[in-house]
Structure 1
Amino acid sequence: MKAIPQFCVVGHPNQGKSSIVSTLVENDSVRIGVESGTTRQAERFEFVLDGRVLLALTDTPGFQRARQLLAWLQQVPVAAADRPARVRAFLAEPSHRQQFPDEVALLEPIMAGSGILFVTDAASAVSATDEAEMEILRWTGQPRMALINPIAKSPHIQNWQATLNQSFQWVRLFNPMTASLPARQALFQAMAELTPDWTAALTELNRQLLQREQQRLVQVSEQLADYWCAQLSLRQPMSALPPSLVASPELWLQQQLDQAESQLFRQLAEQWGHGQAELERQLDWPIERDRLMNTETWYLWGLQQKELLMVTGAAGMATGAVLDLGLGGSSLMLGALSGGVLGSAAGWLASKQLPGKKLGWLPLSQQRHFIGPVKHPNFPLVVMARALTFAQLLWLRPHAKRSRLALTTQASDWDKRAQVQLLQWSKQLQQSKWQSAQSEALCDWIRSSLQQKLAATLQQEQQQSLA
């Protein structure tokens, strides 16, 4: 059985130690605060995949009396090989728990066998206290790596790197607020080289992270496909509505669709360890208005009127072309032309239903027997654009980041072929022509779209880190 790699995250207070722990173990319950001393006692956090603990990090309070501790260690001359024993002697002294509570809390797990991740933000020049902390950690004899957390640009980074290289086996820049999976994997690989005891385990951790990404892509594609189909198909008999909503069935439909969207976001957030994540609302919109079913946001998330006209026309032409093929060409392409005209007309009519207090194109039968589904041509695009944005933002979000997620992706960012395809699928779905082939094609499209978006974002982050 492979030994579980264990590391203590140590350093001066308020250097981002807890943020690093949170991001590396993918746990947003780790307490993070801007005030000094948020971490008051050592606390262990485990990174678990498929029910197995693959890594353990101990978040420790910062050094408070490093120079006094080093002075105690150096009171007795000892050979280099005996320095760890001298540290253990410091821990064995009962009075030190009162005199050096923070130092005892961080040194005990280290001397029990943990490696060291020493964190500094390099915001100020290296001080005598900083050097004392590094020297104490060197005395422990444990595998150790230094992480420079670039909270802000600092002119002292090169000096810090030169100093850290004298006391640590590896020195790395690592920003827990922006670190996506490739950055974390690179750090895990460096940690794997600190000692042969943990090489196999951390290499296996990286392999399982890649495998999880592939599984997650398949899973979330199926989830988003099911959600999209359910939103576009939602239909309720009027007779089943609560008496209070019979006079305004649109309100019931809006509530159901909004609740489903909120449930999707919560489900994805909890699946990926972002239980505290919240959405940022558009600054120009009151919170209660920035909802999926508020049509005032449809042209923000979907297509503008001119774009919608072109796409619905193209979708109509594509549908008509299918009819022409079915007639062996005898229609002389009248199907495609008529389909394009009808599609454009539908898009024009729908776009003219400018957003307002009422929902756009919520069809009721003439007898008002049913409410839904929503057939506004922008609706399928809005639903998918928002759902894809949820998935992408949560996927790339480091667990140390606690700001609200801002939704920015729009359907207008997609190529025209994708827009047309979604409108065609929505029509097939609502006309009960949906089959397994369309379902598989939708999942493939979502998977490909997410892959492209994630790859583009990661490439952009890499270029920014090198700038």
Structure 2
Amino acid sequence: MAAVAHFCVVGHPNKGKSSIVSTLTENDTVQVGAVSGTTRQADSFSFSADQQLLLTLTDTPGFQRARQVLAWLQAEAVAPHQRADRVRAFLATAEHRQRFPDEVELLTPVMQGAGIIYVTDAAGPVSASDLAEMEILRWTGQPRMAVINPMAGTAHQQEWRQTLNQYFQWVRVFDPMNAQLDSRLQLLRAMNELAEPAQQAAIERLITHLQRREPDRMKHDAQQLAAYWCEQMTRTLDEQARMLGESPEAALHRQLNQAEQTQFQLWLKQSGYQRLALETQPDWVKDFNQLMNTEHWSFWGLTSKELLIVSGAAGAAAGSLLDLGTGGASLLLGAVTGGLVGTAGGWLVSKQKPGSRLALPGVKTKRLIGPVRHPNFPFVVMARGLSFLQQLKSRTHARRDALELQVNASTWSQAEQVRLLGWARQLQSNKWNVKSQQALEAWILSQSYPDERI
């Protein structure tokens, strides 16, 4: 089995070391904070694939007394090949754990064989303390690279590059807060060049895993979104499922919200998030009380008149939706791009009673709530699901702000809107089939990742 690649992430406090660890290991439990000294002791985080450990990154406290440590190292003249032993002597001196606790914490895993990733933000000029840190790391004799994290600007980046090139084999710019897959792969390839030969196989396997995982994840997400959307289009609720004192419309509202929250949380878990807070509009289905016909609350749907506005014919099948007139097209376009996407406004009620054909003699007919048949509803559910997946894909695990759902469906053409509405009608008319399901999944994939080749 290939050796695990191990790197120690070091540098001055508050330069984004922990953010880099969090992004590369896809772990949002790494402590990240704007306050200097958030990391007080060395802590290791790993990335595994197919139940095999491939990469370990050790997050360390920042240098605090680099110039004093360097002065101790240089107090005795030693040949270059003896410098690593001099660093080991520094670590073996008992009083140094009290006097230089941060430096002991960060140098210990380095001297145990970890490669070095030195992190700086290059926002200010190179200082004497910075030079001392770099010189100490050179004394370790371990393979090392420098990463410029542009968290506070790049005003002195050229000065830093020229200086870092004198101390490190590789110098790279990496933004852990916004690093997409390509950027992460580039950094991993540089780490692979730096790694010991025995560890290179592990990093190569990690790179291959990430490259192969992305298209598989895209397809899986599309399949899940399609299944979730179909469930929402056909969701019904038995009257008996209501909570005590809960109105029929509120009951369905709650079920729709719960289904969305469950699906979104599943996607978070599948993407490796354990602590990411999710902020969505809890009232994305609203105004039931004003828009419900309470006399016929049991059954959602469109009256013949309202269906005529959308499809051009009462009770039109999905195929006839291609004949939409100007009025219908305006309604759909407004629903998707005009701000109604997040609120599902304009709910209407039909007198149709689906399920009544299942009534048996002597058995009370069940009163059902749903499914929702308003023409805006398919767009609302799909736009929210797609927007969530797109936002999730663009995040890195280093970010600690909540994911606030921002719904966007402005790129949908009229033809795409008609197609989506047609699929909803197929589902609610019990005309759904495998071919329709596959077409829906392919459409979601094209909308989720329009610039990707799957």
When the two structures are superposed, what TM-score results if normalisation uses the length of structure 1? 0.82
Task: State the secondary structure of the residue aligned to 1:27.
Answer: coil
Q: Which residue of 2 aligns with 1:426?
A: 424
1:107 deviation in Å? Answer: 0.5
Q: 1:428 to 1:165 in 2, by over 3 A?
A: same
Q: Which residue of 2 aligns with 1:438?
A: 436
1:310 deviation in Å? Answer: 12
Q: How does 1:203-218 map to 2 (within 5 A)?
A: 203-218=204-219
The 8 Å contact of residues 10 and 17 in structure 2, kept in 1 or not, is answered as yes
Q: Which residue of 2 aligns with 1:8?
A: 8
The 8 Å contact of residues 257 and 282 in structure 2, kept in 1 or not, is answered as no
> For structure 2, which runs of at least 5 residues remain unmatched after alignment?
290-305, 357-365
Provide the C-alpha distance between the structure 1 equivalents of 2:51 and 2:313, rounded to a whole number of angstroms. 47
1:251 deviation in Å? Answer: 0.6
RMSD: 3.2
Q: Which residue of 2 aligns with 1:73?
A: 73
- Mean CA deviation greater in 152-161 or 168-177: 152-161
Q: 1:138 to 1:442 in 2, by over 3 A?
A: same
Q: Which residue of 2 aligns with 1:325?
A: none
Which residue identity does 1:137 align to in structure 2? Answer: L
Task: State the secondary structure of the residue aligned to 1:400.
Answer: coil
Task: State the secondary structure of the residue aligned to 2:393.
Answer: helix
Provide the C-alpha distance between the structure 2 equivalents of 1:100 and 1:311, rounded to a whole number of angstroms. 76
When the two structures are superposed, what TM-score results if normalisation uses the length of structure 2? 0.84
Q: 1:341 to 1:261 in 2, by over 3 A?
A: same
Q: How does 1:248-287 map to 2 (within 5 A)?
A: 248-280=247-279
Q: 1:87 to 1:371 in 2, by over 3 A?
A: same
The 8 Å contact of residues 307 and 313 in structure 2, kept in 1 or not, is answered as no
Q: 1:165 to 1:362 in 2, by over 3 A?
A: farther
Cα deviation 1:343-382 (Å, max 9, x = unaligned): 949969x98xx99998712546469932101111010011
The 8 Å contact of residues 125 and 156 in structure 1, kept in 2 or not, is answered as yes
Q: 1:77 to 1:345 in 2, by over 3 A?
A: closer
Q: 1:342 to 1:397 in 2, by over 3 A?
A: closer
The 8 Å contact of residues 311 and 321 in structure 2, kept in 1 or not, is answered as no
Provide the C-alpha distance between the structure 2 equivalents of 1:452 and 1:163, rounded to a whole number of angstroms. 42
Identity between Structure 1 and Structure 2 (%):
50
Q: How does 1:40-59 map to 2 (within 5 A)?
A: 40-59=40-59
The 8 Å contact of residues 13 and 63 in structure 1, kept in 2 or not, is answered as yes
Cα deviation 1:99-138 (Å, max 9, x = unaligned): 1111110011001110000000111110111000000000
The 8 Å contact of residues 91 and 108 in structure 1, kept in 2 or not, is answered as yes
Q: 1:5 to 1:45 in 2, by over 3 A?
A: same
Provide the C-alpha distance between the structure 2 equivalents of 1:163 and 1:190, rounded to a whole number of angstroms. 19
Task: State the secondary structure of the residue aligned to 2:163.
Answer: helix
Q: 1:294 to 1:78 in 2, by over 3 A?
A: farther
Are 1:231 and 2:232 an aligned pair?
A: yes
Provide the C-alpha distance between the structure 1 equivalents of 2:313 and 2:174, rounded to a whole number of angstroms. 47
The 8 Å contact of residues 18 and 59 in structure 1, kept in 2 or not, is answered as yes
Are 1:377 and 2:378 an aligned pair?
A: no
Cα deviation 1:294-326 (Å, max 9, x = unaligned): 689xxxxxxxxxxx9999459999958x5xxxx
What is the total number of aligned residue pairs between the two structures? 419
Provide the C-alpha distance between the structure 2 equivalents of 1:34 and 1:311, rounded to a whole number of angstroms. 55
Cα deviation 1:214-246 (Å, max 9, x = unaligned): 22112111111110011110012335544533x
1:15 deviation in Å? Answer: 0.6
Q: How does 1:156-235 map to 2 (within 5 A)?
A: 156-195=156-195, 196-235=197-236
Which residue identity does 2:237 align to in structure 1? Answer: Q
Q: How does 1:316-395 map to 2 (within 5 A)?
A: 322=319, 340=324, 344=328, 360-361=347-348, 363=350, 365=352, 369-395=367-393
The 8 Å contact of residues 149 and 176 in structure 1, kept in 2 or not, is answered as yes
Provide the C-alpha distance between the structure 1 equivalents of 2:329 and 2:62, rounded to a whole number of angstroms. 67
1:153 deviation in Å? Answer: 1.9
The 8 Å contact of residues 385 and 409 in structure 1, kept in 2 or not, is answered as yes
Which residue identity does 1:417 align to in structure 2? Answer: A
Cα deviation 1:11-33 (Å, max 9, x = unaligned): 00111111111011000011111
